[in-house]
Chains A and B, each alone.
Chain A
Amino acid sequence: MNKALIDYKNVYYPPGGILLWIIIFLELITFGAALIAMVVYGKQEPEIFHESRLLLNVTFGTINTVFLLTSGFFMAVTVHELKENKKQKAQNYLLLTMLFGMLFLVLKTVEYNAKLNAGLDIGYNSFFTFYWMLTLFHVIHVIVGLVILTSVYFGIKKENSTTKFEDVEASAAFWHMCDLIWLLLFPVIYLIF
């Protein structure tokens, strides 16, 4: 793997690349604004938001947070192993990263199924409109992240891999972004109302 030495202290070269970090901040601002809008609506309809929040499964949300944090940990280890030129170990840790990402999606599917069976769809009330919009957009990001990681996995698996280390770091940064967004979504949607 082609690994040039990157000076992370250079303001134009943060870990993962400046383009990814611009994207990360735009996503954080977008999700942040939506979450603040949810909080504003919650202030206007406190009983509805509180009663609706009680219909969510905090245990599922907590487990999903653990899944994403574990996945993020393995992603960080993957990058570390690649820096040490331990390609096989990096591949294995990347598989673990993707496994925990998929576990998140499985549990999310179970949760969505339960909500739909209970009639708690996107039009049920304003709380659930926010719930579905925010978590679905997040799920889309997780799916895109898994596609990217799959591409990275097959890229580094090749015998004469042309995958650049910067690309792996950028992919890792995108994956961690999904984690960062969830770390804001979970407390606001599941805990504070």
Chain B
Amino acid sequence: MVLTVIAGLVSSTSLTYLVPLILILAVLKFIGVAFNFMEMKKAHVFWKILLISYLVVFCGIVLLVL
């Protein structure tokens, strides 16, 4: 919840690294939901690597484009 509020507040500022910061906050929440709520902590390492790889590719492409 805290990460969400921080992201909302930070978005109205004009920090230099605003977009990477917002994406990092989103990634942290994403990992929190996937690994804790969805119990992927208990899953085979293949699924963990796949999730992290997806996030890296997605964020990487977004940052490259921007």
Contacts and interface: CB of A to CB of B under 8 A. Distances in A.
B59 to A, nearest CB: 10
Interface string A14-51: 11100001000100110010011001101100000000
A186 interface: yes
B4 A66 contact: yes
B8 A43 contact: no
Given A62-B8, A184-B58, A192 B43 contact: no
Q: Which of A14, A72, A173, A187 has the most chain B CB within a 10 Å cutoff? A: A187
B3 to A, nearest CB: 9
B62 A10 contact: no
B33 A191 contact: no
Interface string B17-32: 0110011011001100
A9 interface: yes
Interface of A: 8-11, 14-16, 21, 25, 28-29, 32, 35-36, 39-40, 42-43, 58-59, 61-62, 65-66, 69-70, 72-73, 75-76, 79, 172-173, 176, 179-180, 183-184, 186-188, 190-192
25 contacts: A8-B44, A9-B43, A11-B44, A14-B40, A35-B62, A36-B61, A39-B66, A58-B8, A58-B12, A62-B4, A65-B4, A66-B4, A69-B33, A75-B37, A76-B37, A176-B37, A179-B37, A183-B33, A186-B7, A187-B23, A191-B22, A192-B18, A192-B19, A192-B62, A192-B66
